[in-house]
Amino acid sequence: MAHQISQLVRNGLYREVLALYSQLHSASVPASFLPKNFAFPFLLKACASLKALSQAQMLHAHIIRTGFQFQMHTATALTNVYMKLKLVEDATKMFDEIRKPTIDLCNAVISGFAQNGFCKEALNMFQLISCRRIRPDSVTIASGLSGCSDAEQGVQLHCLAIKIGVETDIYAATSLLTMYLNCGDLGSAEKVYGLIHCKNVVCYNAYMSGMLQNGAHLQVLNVFNEMRGSSSGNPNLVTLISVASACAKLKYLRFGRQVHGFTMKGLLRFDTKVGTALVDMYSKCGSWDSAYGVFKELGNGRSLITWNSMIAGMMLNDQSELAIELFVQLEDNQLTPDSATWNLMISGFSRLGQEAEAFLFFRKMLSENILPSLKSVTSLLTACSALSALHFGQEIHAHVLRSGISDDEFLATALIDMYMKCGKTTLAECVFNQFNIKPRDPAFWNAMISGYSRNGRSEDGFKLFYQMLEEKVHPNSATFNCMLSMCSHTGEVDLGWQIFRSMVVNYGLQPTSEQLYIMIDLLGRSGQLKEAQQLLGGITDPSASVLASLLGACEQHADFELGEEIARELSALEPDNPIPFVILSNIYAGLEKWKDVERIRDIMSKRQLKKLPASSTIGVI
């Protein structure tokens, strides 16, 4: 009987083994045929796997009647099942009744505390183990690591693992590198990984998954290659999903095709999760036809997530008509579009500039009583901003107010941007002022400042910038872009210099090329050409537009020396463009330096550069 019970559990036939126990327990069966002590852990494991509370309690009562509740294997199994059923108090009582707990029982309690979110209690168990002089093992370390909330606690357990000599044990080491990866410490995770000599598939997968989450996508591919060359770990479903995701992030189509080929050779070719990952990979690598091929090959194995991934891929690759066809086919395949499906359609159309279709799906979605996501709403608002479509924007704003999500900072920023681009500064101010305590996200403030600048209210933009600083909101690079642009538009040279220096000195931000271009243009138009030239020297490869701007300033202020230098640099970038020499010739002509005018014309003649004839356009009504 005991052999039959253990065999059923090993084969995963949990319902069958509990049914057998119930049958024996309720029938008039001789005591010799009833489950003995060593059968109880198997029965309790079945209860834990099925989350069967009533059967676990019946077993517990039976165990007490038979006097086996203090037997270590049974007590450990009871503690474990209560932890799995989230009955932490019952599990703790069970543990407290045992006078001399074993390390296995302690491990069950530590693991249970961690799984149920009692991280502090899990770590406190290590003090109890130390006081009772129980020697921890690799399972103890792994169980404790799952309850670590920060790297400092994890490092303490790492030290303990080294002290007891299990730091390279595959179970403990895998938990260690997982902990470091969850804390974003890739360097420590890599060191632990390097110390593991006999890696298995769980170890490889944990490392690849953690690297993927931390953006180390290339490392995922390197580990996969290492894994394929090793005899100790064969890639499984989890492996292939991680590697396909890394290829998608890197847009490594060739490597992704190799992963696909590897999948086809194994027994995993029709697995839904791997197929969905391949669809996503091909779509993000720009090969939507290959993605569609995998999608069709999956056949009846496609889940709604697979359909959503294919629809997203079609939208990403500008195949909106095929995306619509897939959306329509969903119902034919006995699937109902969920909120993710609708949101993909709306966001996709918005991104492709097909605003009418985006609003059509938005209205259909609301008619189906499905709430759009914040991402969909903000993408629609972005479309309204691009089109200056005030009516549609106000319709969305009304939906936002009805849904009670108007206090979302990201959404409010999109509303402010939409109203500003539609020229409705008063409505933008209403959205801004609905927050008594203003958000500390600089993007929220930037939308107002840039909007004021766009609508000719630079003075209000300057005031808001100083209010932002008073409220101790840290400006970012985009904030300074807005401020420098306003200074350029209003000719505020001194203020522009002050803001530029503050950006570098007070906030430690390195000037971007765009910010340097704005300052060069501002200084050039105000006649501070030497200062503009100094800033130009800080740019490795200045663009033709900034050189043309400075050359125009040289013409305005009759600086032929700098004009000559800039004209030659601009001509090197655009050798077929005669305009730099025409402007330089005009500078010399304005100064009545006729010999230099002739010299410039000779240069143009030798290079076969001709001044473009002037033209005019007449509109006939």
| Calpha distance 72→80 (Å, rounded) | 12
* HSE-up (13 A, CA, CB side) for residue 122: 26
Q: How many residues can be counted in the chain?
A: 621
pLDDT of residue 473: 94
pLDDT of residue 610: 67
Q: Among candidates 544, 464, 482, which has minimal Cα distance to 518?
A: 482
Cα Rg of the chain, angstroms: 35
Angle of helix 560-573 relative to helix 579-590, nearest 10 degrees, comes to 170
Q: Among candidates 415, 418, 471, 410, which has minimal Cα distance to 443?
A: 410
pLDDT of residue 621: 39
| Calpha distance 488→450 (Å, rounded) | 13
Place of tokens 């997203």: 312
Question: pTM for the full model?
Answer: 0.71
pLDDT of residue 611: 63
Hey, what domains does the chain have and what are their CATH numbers?
198-317 (1.25.40.10), 511-621 (1.25.40)
| Calpha distance 455→446 (Å, rounded) | 14
Q: Among candidates 412, 418, 420, 334, which has minimal Cα distance to 380?
A: 418
pLDDT of residue 27: 56
Q: Which helix (H) or strand (E) holds 442?
A: helix 442-454
Percent residues over pLDDT 90 in the chain: 41
The answer to whether 105 and 79 are in contact (CB under 8 A) is yes
| Calpha distance 244→446 (Å, rounded) | 38
Place of tokens 């479903």: 237
| Calpha distance 115→121 (Å, rounded) | 11
**AA identity, residue 536:** L
CB burial class (10 A; 0-12, 13-18, 19+) of residue 510?
exposed
pLDDT of residue 5: 80
Q: Which two tokens stand for residue 175?
A: 């938990």
| Tens digit of each residue's pLDDT (9 = 90 or more) over 276-293 | 999 999 999 999 999 999
Q: Which two tokens stand for residue 311?
A: 């629809």
| Calpha distance 532→444 (Å, rounded) | 32
> How does 447-469 read in b/e, with b if 16+ C-beta sit within 10 Å?
bbbbbbbbbebbebbbebbeebe
Sign of the four-CA dihedral 198, 201, 206, 212? positive
Helix-then-strand count for the chain, H and E:
36, 0
pLDDT of residue 560: 84
Neighbours of 106 (CB within 10 A): 25
CB burial class (10 A; 0-12, 13-18, 19+) of residue 298?
buried
Q: Where are the alpha helices (DSSP H) in 165-252?
A: 170-182, 186-195, 201-213, 217-228, 237-250
* HSE-up (13 A, CA, CB side) for residue 71: 15
Q: Which residues of the chain have pLDDT under 50?
A: 31, 33, 617-621
